[in-house]
Amino acid sequence: MSDADLARRAAAGDEAAFEALIRRKREKVYWIAYRIVGTKGHLHADPAYEYAEGLEYTLTIGGRTTRRAVGKRDQFAPELVYFSDCILSDRQPEPSGEEGMQDVRIVQALYRSAQTGRSIAIPPFEKRYRPTSRQRITRPGVRKPALVKVQSASRD
């Protein structure tokens, strides 16, 4: 059955057709993307967060667009390795909890701005330390795990 046929049946209330269409298109439906817009251009990441596949983004500056793909890799293992090493070595992790609090302040200001329609001043935050390339840890990509006695939240 074609996508158009499934869409017509789903629009008419056929739940099985809707589920079939979602299963067929789940990778496009469930990927999360984001766009960052700046004064010189914008960056669009799609998918932006995916642990079992590669990531892609387009960067447009001054009307010139570049598309890049980042290969499949494990994003969580290096974080755990790094954080564990910081604990074992009695070092402060980077980014710090202070930087995380600044992220919270930014999100709160975004909500206030959306509610009031006005810009919200945020106190400046000065990082004492910057990450370096020595911090980079890579691990090979992972496969999506098999489900055990549960139904997928994404209906696949």
Q: Residue 27 has what pLDDT?
A: 60
DSSP H stretches of helix in 12-154: 15-30, 76-88, 97-116
Whole-structure pTM over 0.75, yes or no? Answer: no
Across the chain, which has 156 residues, the per-10-residue mean pLDDT values are 83 80 66 79 82 82 91 81 92 82 89 89 80 80 77 60
By three-state DSSP, how is residue 73 classified?
A: strand
Q: Residue 156 has what pLDDT?
A: 47
Which residue shows structure tokens 């098999």?
146
What is the rounded distance in angstroms from the CA atom of residue 106 to the CA atom of residue 120? 9
Q: Is 135 exposed, middle or buried (0-12, 13-18, 19+ CB in 10 A)?
A: exposed
